[in-house]
């Protein structure tokens, strides 16, 4: 295998590319669209491509003679990139369009859980906001209100009061603050326990565990603010023990993979399973049909196994013959620099994840980052024709500190991000310091 194509623009895609080139000296990764600021000679960005239109990406895969394609962004998966690439004869890892419903339709996953006896929170599904509000007023809370379809990491509200739940319903279904993903919703009972995140590589009925991580889904310091696509993460997780992994495989992953197989879904690649541990029983919270962001940026740097060989085993159907991944004990802490509030002549933006955000603001200071102490993974950023790196979305740059301890890694991340600047830069100051469940 010589040419790998990864479809993503988030830091997750850059981290995937880095994993391949770092563990295999012979592979070149093409990242579509990627970021032209990436300077690794064996990571080639294709910024003229996007995650919405599979046709041009299929043509590019043919041009470069891709030995493997991996759509990594959730939008590329729901747009059917896996199906289109496979139809063109490109070896591809990822869930097909039908299997991506595990992420893109929470109702589908809930029904799967009920059908196959997989523990999950009780829920109701709604297509009409008035009916949803009437249910909230009649049922005991607290409630978790979620957009049924993908809201790109947002659209989840943990509501302690009736008023909060009604506001969430209106934001999702009426004002559509999170796009079409909120046109239908589910309302769940709130489970009380410990939230745990698990990641595994799947090849049919076989799987290979990835290291666990802890993420920070709240937007503001002290675990306040809104649920969003993640403001940071760290790995290793304190819950990543042989006993905990065995429980997950026994209680959740094997039953889940059996259910996926029984439904005739074609699933390969990373599966991200969020669970709530209630007593000694795991309950399914959500499935992401791909690796998480910002978790990828702290999980992948710990892996030293030749990842090309792992990917080949998924394609060949021999994942069961792969030994466990070799993982370092080094700690990684990701602090995400996001596009916060900004003002332009005649208008202002509340910033991500609170609403609209500006684009095109110059990013400076990355040239001063000590790359031995802190990795840089580019997210929603682009280069102008003059070569200037500028912001181009909500989650712009990931500063990933590394160290022998979590404290050391966090210190390196915050030393680095203090040097980075762009208009409206915003980040949490307590990643790996306060825990997300505190």
If you write DSSP's letter for every residue of 128-176 in order, what string do you get? -HHHHHHHHHHS-S-EEEEESS--TT--EEEESSHHHHHHHHIIIIIS-
Q: What phi and psi, each to the nearest 5 degrees, are found at residue 146?
A: -135, 140
Note the Cα 211 to chain centre separation in Å: 15
Q: Which residues contact 22 (CB under 8 A, 6 or more apart)?
A: none
Rounded distance between C-alpha atoms, residue 18 and residue 27, angstroms = 11
Question: What pLDDT is stored for residue 107 in this prediction?
Answer: 96
Question: What pLDDT is stored for residue 177 in this prediction?
Answer: 85
Contact 75, 50 (CB under 8 A): no
Domain 122-189 has CATH 3.90.650.10: no
Percent of the chain residues topping a pLDDT of 90: 92
Region 105-119: mean pLDDT is 97
Contact 361, 384 (CB under 8 A): no
pLDDT at 253 over 90: yes
Region 184-213: mean pLDDT is 95
At 178, is the pLDDT very low, low, confident or very high (cuts 50, 70, 90)?
confident
pLDDT at 1 over 90: no
| CATH code linked to domain 331-426 | 3.90.600.10
pLDDT at 181 over 90: no
Region 66-80: mean pLDDT is 96
Region 262-290: mean pLDDT is 96
Question: What pLDDT is stored for residue 152 in this prediction?
Answer: 66
Region 39-50: mean pLDDT is 95
Rounded distance between C-alpha atoms, residue 323 and residue 321, angstroms = 6
pLDDT at 438 over 90: no
In the chain, DSSP finds a helix count (H) and a strand count (E) of 13, 24
Q: What is the CA radius of gyration of the chain?
A: 21
At 8, is the pLDDT very low, low, confident or very high (cuts 50, 70, 90)?
very high
Region 395-421: mean pLDDT is 98
Topology of the domain covering 192-321: D-amino Acid Aminotransferase; Chain A, domain 1 (3.30.470)
Question: What pLDDT is stored for residue 174 in this prediction?
Answer: 94
Question: What pLDDT is stored for residue 151 in this prediction?
Answer: 76
Higher-confidence residue of 175 and 232: namely: 232
Tokens of 346: 């005649």
**Mean of the per-residue pLDDT values of the chain:** 95
pLDDT at 266 over 70: yes
Higher-confidence residue of 53 and 180: namely: 53
- Looking only at the bridges linking them, the beta strands covering 331-339 and 143-147 are unpaired
| Domain 3-92: CATH architecture, name and number where available | 3-Layer(aba) Sandwich (3.40)
Per residue in 131-168, pLDDT tens? Answer: 999 999 999 889 999 999 877 667 889 999 999 999 99
Closest CA to 401 of 364, 425, 427, 422: 427
Closest CA to 431 of 393, 401, 404: 401
Region 113-123: mean pLDDT is 96
In this prediction the pTM is: 0.95
Percent of the chain residues topping a pLDDT of 70: 99
Closest CA to 298 of 203, 374, 364: 374
- Going from N- to C-terminal start, the domains of the chain cover 3-92, 122-189, 192-321, 331-426
Question: What pLDDT is stored for residue 153 in this prediction?
Answer: 66
Q: At what angle do helices 11-23 and 307-316 cross, to 10 degrees?
A: 100
Closest CA to 78 of 156, 5, 180: 180
Q: Lowest mean pLDDT: which of 45-49, 54-58, 67-71, 177-181?
A: 177-181
């Amino acid at each position: 295998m010589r040419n790998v194509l990864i479809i993503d623009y988030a830091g997750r895609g850059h981290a995937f590319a880095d994993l391949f080139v770092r563990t295999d000296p012979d592979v070149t990764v093409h990242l579509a669209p990627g970021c032209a600021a990436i300077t690794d000679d064996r990571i080639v960005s294709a910024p003229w491509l996007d995650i919405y239109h599979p046709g041009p990406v299929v043509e590019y895969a043919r041009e470069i003679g891709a030995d493997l394609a991996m759509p990594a962004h959730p939008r590329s998966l729901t747009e059917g990139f896996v199906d289109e690439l496979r139809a063109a004869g490109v070896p591809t890892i990822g869930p097909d369009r039908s299997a991506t419903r595990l992420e893109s339709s929470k109702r589908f996953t809930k029904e799967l859980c009920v059908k196959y006896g997989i523990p999950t929170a009780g829920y109701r599904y709604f297509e009409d906001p008035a009916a949803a509000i009437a249910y909230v007023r009649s049922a005991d809370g607290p409630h978790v209100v979620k957009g049924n379809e993908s809201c790109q990491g947002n659209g989840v509200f943990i509501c302690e009061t009736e008023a909060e739940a009604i506001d969430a319903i209106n934001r999702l279904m009426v004002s559509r603050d999170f796009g079409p993903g909120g046109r239908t919703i589910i309302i769940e009972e709130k489970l009380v326990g410990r939230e745990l995140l698990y990641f595994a590589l799947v090849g049919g009925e076989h799987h290979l565990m990835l290291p666990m991580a802890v993420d920070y889904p709240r937007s503001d310091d002290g675990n306040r603010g809104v649920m969003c696509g993640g403001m940071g993460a760290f790995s290793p997780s304190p819950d990543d023990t042989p006993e905990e992994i065995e429980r997950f495989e026994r209680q959740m992953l094997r039953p889940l993979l059996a259910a996926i197989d029984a439904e005739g879904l074609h699933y390969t690649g990373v599966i991200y399973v969020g669970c709530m541990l209630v007593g000694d029983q795991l309950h399914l919270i959500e499935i992401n049909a791909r690796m998480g962001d910002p978790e990828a940026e702290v999980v992948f740097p710990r892996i030293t196994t030749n990842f090309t060989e792992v990917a080949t085993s998924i394609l060949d159907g021999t994942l069961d013959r792969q030994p466990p991944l070799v993982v370092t004990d080094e700690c990684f802490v990701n602090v995400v620099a996001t596009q916060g509030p900004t003002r332009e002549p005649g208008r202002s933006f509340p910033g991500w994840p609170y609403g609209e955000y500006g684009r095109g603001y110059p990013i400076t200071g990355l040239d001063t980052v000590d790359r031995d102490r802190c990795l840089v993974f580019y997210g929603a950023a682009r280069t102008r024709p003059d070569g200037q790196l500028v912001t181009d979305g909500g989650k712009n740059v990931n500063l990933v500190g590394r160290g022998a301890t979590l404290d050391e890694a966090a210190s390196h991340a915050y030393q680095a991000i203090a040097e980075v600047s762009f208009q409206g830069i915003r980040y949490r100051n307590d990643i790996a310091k306060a825990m997300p469940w505190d």
